[in-house]
């Protein structure tokens, strides 16, 4: 058994020396560089995929916990309730302010070097039920396709949530054509909430 192991070791050593002699110094260096580049690329791709999976998991957990965890406390007195609701509705912009919100959206995208293609927008007007018998909110839905690096798209999403309180993200889909590609394609469904008319 020891003779067999010794034979295998000598044979492997002979093969490696033969390959090294045939490739020469520059060939060995090139082979080493290719190996290191491939290892770094695989490591980076795995890291990006893990971050995408983590973000998708967090979004799924937030969507699952939102209906049950968010409780809005209302005052007992009727006049306080009406005043609170009036103040609440005043925090939302009116419909004519939507172009300003879109401008802010474009600024957030430009800050992350993302281009928003207006040709891909899909705008649907959905009027919510009037639950206060005085005011209502109107929802405008926009489907927004984006292509760029994962980090830039994630920063863009965080910017929407932190600077545009009247805009909600109802759906996020992220995909990548190839595991080797640094670019990802995202599809966001945004909901713009605006004040409706008084009844």
Residue 63: what pLDDT? Answer: 77
The residues pairing with 138 across neighbouring beta strands, listed in sequence order, are: 127, 194
pLDDT at 176 over 60: yes
CA distances (Å), 117 to each of 100, 145, 146, 152, 174, in order? 17, 8, 8, 16, 17
pLDDT in tens, 23-45: 676 766 777 778 788 778 787 88
pLDDT at 158 over 90: yes
Domains and CATH numbers, the chain: 1-67 (no CATH), 92-199 (3.30.70.60)
**Alpha helix (H) residue ranges in the chain:** 2-69, 78-90, 98-111, 150-163
**183 or 85, which is more confident?**
183
Average pLDDT value over all residues in the chain: 76
What is the spatial distance between Cα 89 and Cα 140, in angstroms, rounded to a whole number? 16
pLDDT at 123 over 80: no
| Token pair in block for residue 94 | 């009116």
What value does the mean pLDDT take over residues 168-195?
86
| Rg of the chain in Å (alpha carbons) | 28
**133 or 107, which is more confident?**
107
């Amino acid at each position: 058994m020891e003779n067999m192991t010794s034979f295998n070791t000598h044979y492997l050593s002979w093969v490696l020396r033969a390959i090294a002699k045939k490739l020469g110094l520059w060939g060995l260096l090139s082979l080493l560089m290719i190996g290191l580049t491939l290892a770094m690329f695989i490591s980076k791709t795995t890291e990006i995929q893990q971050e995408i999976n983590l973000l998708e998991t967090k979004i799924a957990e937030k969507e699952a916990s939102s209906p049950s965890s968010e409780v809005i406390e209302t005052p007992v007195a009727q006049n306080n309730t009406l005043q609170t609701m009036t103040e609440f509705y005043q925090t939302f912009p009116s419909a004519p302010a939507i172009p300003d919100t879109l401008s802010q959206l474009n600024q957030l995208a430009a800050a992350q070097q993302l281009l928003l293609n207006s040709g891909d927008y899909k705008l649907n007007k959905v009027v919510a039920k009037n639950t206060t018998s005085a005011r209502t909110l109107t929802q405008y839905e926009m489907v927004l396709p984006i292509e760029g690096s994962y980090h830039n798209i994630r920063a863009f999403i965080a910017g929407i949530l932190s600077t545009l309180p009247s805009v909600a993200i109802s759906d996020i889909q992220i995909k990548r054509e190839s595991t080797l590609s640094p670019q990802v394609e995202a599809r966001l469904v945004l909901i713009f909430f605006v004040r409706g008319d008084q009844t």
